[in-house]
Structure 1
């Protein structure tokens, strides 16, 4: 799993590439938290376009980042979610906490 990040206008953009499972979730969590806290951004946008697999560790990763963002009045949103990943996210109930958008522009417009 690779993670590419970018910060723009108080938003941390996280582009995930590969599989998001228990083997990769710890590394990703630490990387995102380091950047999020070090730059004091408010919102996080996760791009799932290049994620081929996700298990419950991915749900935990999202929940933890949601908690961190909520503390500072921020939001976590998801973009470019593939149907197979959407199924996992929908079953988990994550959409009660965060919204999913077609692209980054739409997501930012709704923050």
Structure 2
């Protein structure tokens, strides 16, 4: 798996790998569920710096992360999304649920 995570000031940061498909989405769900329980993080930041592909499983994973963050009084943010990822998020209506920032630092400053 190419994705990794870290916790910064009650924010779970998930660095998404090159592809966010069914297999990666399931792994990210498991990682985020476990880390949210362990760390008491409220917000989830999804870093798409190296991601070139996302399918409907990725959209579903983001919706699920939104629900988890919302239960904790937190938010989901997307950073460093390229044009194909932004277009899919726009078409799927994800921008009604998540915030987008140009950089990780900008997201951390606004949470």
User: Residues 65-96 of structure 1: CA distance to partner in whole angstroms, max 9, x if unpaired?
Assistant: 11001011001100000001111011001001
Aligned partner of 2:51 in structure 1 is 51
Q: How far apart, CA to CA, are the structure 2 residues paired with 1:39 and 1:6?
A: 10
1:23 offset after TM fit, Å?
A: 2.5
User: Residues 12-69 of structure 1: CA distance to partner in whole angstroms, max 9, x if unpaired?
Assistant: 1111112111122111111111111111111111100111100010011011011001
Q: How far apart, CA to CA, are the structure 2 residues paired with 1:9 and 1:105?
A: 12
Q: How far apart, CA to CA, are the structure 2 residues paired with 1:48 and 1:87?
A: 13
Q: How far apart, CA to CA, are the structure 1 residues paired with 2:104 and 2:31?
A: 21
Q: How far apart, CA to CA, are the structure 1 residues paired with 2:31 and 2:44?
A: 13
Q: How far apart, CA to CA, are the structure 1 residues paired with 2:23 and 2:109?
A: 33
- Give 1:18-33 correspondences, 5 Å limit: 18-33=18-33
The answer as to 2:88 corresponding to 1:88 is yes
Comparing both structures, which one devotes a greater share of its residues to strand?
1
TM-score (norm 1): 0.95
Structure 1: unaligned runs, 5 residues or longer: none
Comparing 76-85 and 101-110, the one that deviates more: 101-110
Structure 1 segments (4+ residues) deviating >2 Å = none
Aligned partner of 2:72 in structure 1 is 72
- Count the aligned residue pairs: 111
Aligned partner of 1:15 in structure 2 is 15
